[in-house]
Structure 1
Amino acid sequence: MHATPQWGEEGCSMLRGLMQDAPLLISGILEYAARAHGEREIVSKAVDEPVWRYDWHRCDQRARQAAQALGVLASALVV
C-alpha cells in the first residue's frame, strides 16, 4: 500500500499517513503515561538519598504544578 502525495497548507507536497497529527512533546508523553499507566509505580534512587516511590499520575500532577509555577514566575518577570 502506497501513501498518495497531497498538497499541504504551504502548497508543498507531503505524504499523508507518514507524519504525526500532533507535535511530539514531553507533556504529551507524560499525559499518555498518566492516562494509560497511572497507577504503575516509578522508583528512583540517588546516591546518599532515600528511595523515591510514586506513580505516573502523581508525576503528571507534579509536572503540571511545576509548569504552572514557572509560568507565574515568568509573567512576574515580564511586568
Structure 2
Amino acid sequence: MYSIEYSREAFKSLKAMPHNLVTTVREKIEQLAAAPHGPNNNVKKLQGRPGYRLRVGNWRVIYEIHDDRLVVMILAVAPRGGAYQ
C-alpha cells in the first residue's frame, strides 16, 4: 500500500470543504492508495502535464504517483471547473 501525502493547497481545500464531502473524498483517496495502478473508471491521466485526476462527484482530486517512494501525492482538491488551473 502506498502512503498518502498532501500538498499545502490540497490540505487547505479539504479543511474548507463540508465534513460529509471530506469523508467521501478521503475514502476514495485511501482506496486509490491501496491500488494506485489498479483499474478505476474515475481515474484518468492528465494531458499536457504529469499526474492523474480522480473524479469524486463534482470534485476532482489531482495527484501524482511516486513509485520509487511508494507515495501518492495529492496536489489539489477542487470543484470540476477550477481543478485544472
TM-score, scaled to structure 2 = 0.26
Q: Which structure shows the higher helix fraction?
A: 1
Q: Which has the higher contact order (CA 8 A, sep 6+)?
A: 2
TM-score, scaled to structure 1 = 0.28
Q: Which structure shows the higher strand fraction?
A: 2
